[in-house]
Structure formats: C-alpha cells, structure tokens
C-alpha cells in the first residue's frame, strides 16, 4: 500500500522546467553551501510568494561535484525570473562566484543527459 495520493492529471499539472546551472569560483565550494545560497538567492529576488508562484526549488539529487553543476526547478512561465535570480548571486561563503545557466530542459532525465554527461543504455551501446 503506497501512502500517497495519486499524481495530478496532466491537464492540472504545471509544465516544469529544469535549469542546469554552473557555479564558477576561485576555490571549490561545498554542495550544501551552494544549495543554500541558491535558495537564498531565489527567496531574495522572487520573495516567498514569488518562489511559490514560480514553483521554484533546488533539485538536490542531481549534482556534479567536479564541475559544480546543479539543477533548479521552476514552471515554464518563470524561467527568465529564475535565471535572473541565479545571475544575481555574487558571493557564496565569502567567495566571489559567477553563476551561469547552461541550459533549460523539460525533464530531469533530459537535463542529466544534456548537461551532466549522463548516458542511458541506448547511447551507451552506440
């Protein structure tokens, strides 16, 4: 027995977008610090209500430690606002940073394939 409701119908769901971002910095940063800073940046620029409207959130399960790349989720109408919020981050743990969005994707899987270099079985065989 699964203790959760059924997922919403597709017509009731918002279209989600996943922004793959990269943090460039002089020294290596901790993943937790970056995720906290991204949340802080989103709340700073969009506000609590704005973040809720944008359905903004940090996808903690997808993270590339070597390249300092991660994913941020939002709905399809708020991509530009979330992109601006990320661009307005300037310091993480007192280290100057340059945050850039690598691209936007419709699913986590596609984002992992396009921006994190992950391969599925079909591409692996090729």
Partner 1 sequence: MITIKFYDLCLRSNLCGGTSSVEELARYAELLGYSGIVVCDVWQGPEKLAVLKAELARVQAQTKVELLLGAEIAVNSPSELSIALDTVRQLVPIVAVSGGTFAINQASCNDPRVDLLLHPELGRPDPGLDDACIAAAARNGVSIALDFRQVLFSYRKQRSALLQRMTANVKLAIAGRAPLVVVSSAQSVWDMRDPRELIALASVLGLDFARSFATLSDAPARIVERRTGKPSVDVEHAHDEEKPETAQAQEPNKQSYDAGPMPDMAAKM
Does 84 contact partner 1 by CB under 8 A?
A: yes
- Tell me the closest approach of the beta carbon of residue 45 to partner 1, in angstroms: 8
Q: Of 103 and 106, which CB lies nearer to partner 1 in the complex structure?
A: 103
Q: Which of 25, 36, 53, 108 binds partner 1 (CB under 8 A)?
A: 25
Does 24 contact partner 1 by CB under 8 A?
A: yes
Q: Which of 13, 14, 77, 88 binds partner 1 (CB under 8 A)?
A: 88
- Tell me the closest approach of the beta carbon of residue 96 to partner 1, in angstroms: 4
Residues 106, 13: Cα–Cα separation, whole Å? 13
Does 67 contact partner 1 by CB under 8 A?
A: yes
Sheet with 16-25, side-by-side order of all strands: 57-64, 69-75, 16-25, 95-105, 91-92
Interacting residues with partner 1 (CB under 8 A): 20, 22, 24-26, 44, 66-68, 80-81, 83-84, 86-88, 90, 96-98, 100-103, 114-117
């Amino acid at each position: 027995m699964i203790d959760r409701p059924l997922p919403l119908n597709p017509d009731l769901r918002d279209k989600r977008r996943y922004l793959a971002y990269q943090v460039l910095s002089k020294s290596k940063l901790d993943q937790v610090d970056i995720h906290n800073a991204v949340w802080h940046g989103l709340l700073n620029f969009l506000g609590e209500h704005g973040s809720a409207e944008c359905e903004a959130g940090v996808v903690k399960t997808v993270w590339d430690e070597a390249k300092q790349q991660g994913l941020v989720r939002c709905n399809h109408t708020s991509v530009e606002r979330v992109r601006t919020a990320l661009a307005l981050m300037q310091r993480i743990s007192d280290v100057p940073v340059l945050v850039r969005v690598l691209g936007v994707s419709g699913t986590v899987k596609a984002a992992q394939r396009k921006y994190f270099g992950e391969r599925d079985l079909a591409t692996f065989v090729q």
